[in-house]
Amino acid sequence: MTTPLTPPRLRNDCFAMPQGVEWVPVDKALALLRARLHAVTGTEALSVAHAHGRVLAAPAVARRSNPPRPNSAVDGYGFAHAATGDGVQRLPLLPGRAAAGQPFEGAVPPGAALRILTGAILPQGVDTVVLEEDCATDGQIVAFDGPVKRAINTRQAGEDVTEGAPILPAGRVLTPADLALLSAVGLGHVQAHRRLRVAVLSTGDELLADPAGQAAPHQIFDANRPMLLALLAGWGFDAVDLGHAPDDADQIAARLDQGAQSADAVLTSGGASAGDEDHVSRLLRARGTLSSWRIAVKPGRPLALALWGGVPVFGLPGNPVAALVCALVFARPALSLLSGAGWSEPQGFVVPAAFSKRKKAGRREYLRARLTDSGQAEVFASEGSGRISGLSWASGLVELPDAACTIAPGDLVRYLPYASFGVRSGG
DSSP 8-state class, residue 327? I
Query: Which residue has the CB atom at the shortest distance from ligand AMP?
Result: 318
Options 161-169, 208-216, 222-230, 414-422: segment touching ligand AMP (CB under 6 A): 222-230
- Give yes or no for residue 220 binding ligand AMP (CB under 6 A): yes
Binding region for ligand AMP (CB under 6 A) out of 54-62, 115-123, 149-157, 312-320 = 312-320
> Judging by DSSP bridges, how do beta strands 311-316 and 265-269 pair with one another?
parallel
| 206 binding ligand AMP? (CB under 6 A) | yes
204 binds Mg ion (CB under 5 A): yes
Comparison of 296 and 321: residue with beta carbon closer to ligand AMP: 321
What is the residue-wise DSSP string for 284-312?
HHHHS--EEEEB-EES--EEEEEEETTEE
Of 123 and 204, CB closest to Mg ion: 204
202 binds ligand AMP (CB under 6 A): yes
Q: Which amino acid is at 295?
A: I
378 is a site residue for ligand AMP (CB under 6 A): no
Of 42-50, 191-199, 263-271, 390-398, the window that binds ligand AMP (rule: CB under 6 A) is 263-271
User: How crowded is residue 3: how many other Cβ atoms within 10 Å of its Cβ?
Assistant: 7
Segment 316-345, which members bind Mg ion (CB under 5 A)?
318
Size of the site for Mg ion (CB under 5 A): 4
CB-nearer residue toward ligand AMP: 269 or 291: 269
Q: Which does 198 bind (CB under 5 to 8 A by kind): Mg ion, ligand AMP, none?
A: none
CA torsion, ordered 269, 270, 271, 277, to nearest 10 deg: -160
Residue 315 interacts with Mg ion (CB under 5 A)? no
> What own/partner pairs with CB < 8 Å and gap ≥ 24 does 272-281 have?
272/302, 272/303, 272/304, 272/315, 272/316, 272/317, 272/318, 273/301, 273/302, 273/317, 274/302, 277/205, 277/247, 279/203, 279/247, 279/248, 279/249, 279/252, 280/203, 280/252, 280/304, 280/315, 281/315
The answer to whether 195 and 41 have CB atoms below 8 angstroms apart is yes
CA distance 331 to 333: 6
Interface with ligand AMP, residue 292, by CB under 6 A: no
Judged by CB under 5 A, does residue 271 bind Mg ion?
yes
Binding site for Mg ion (CB under 5 A): 204, 270-271, 318
Binding site for ligand AMP (CB under 6 A): 202, 204, 206-207, 220, 222-225, 269-272, 317-320, 386
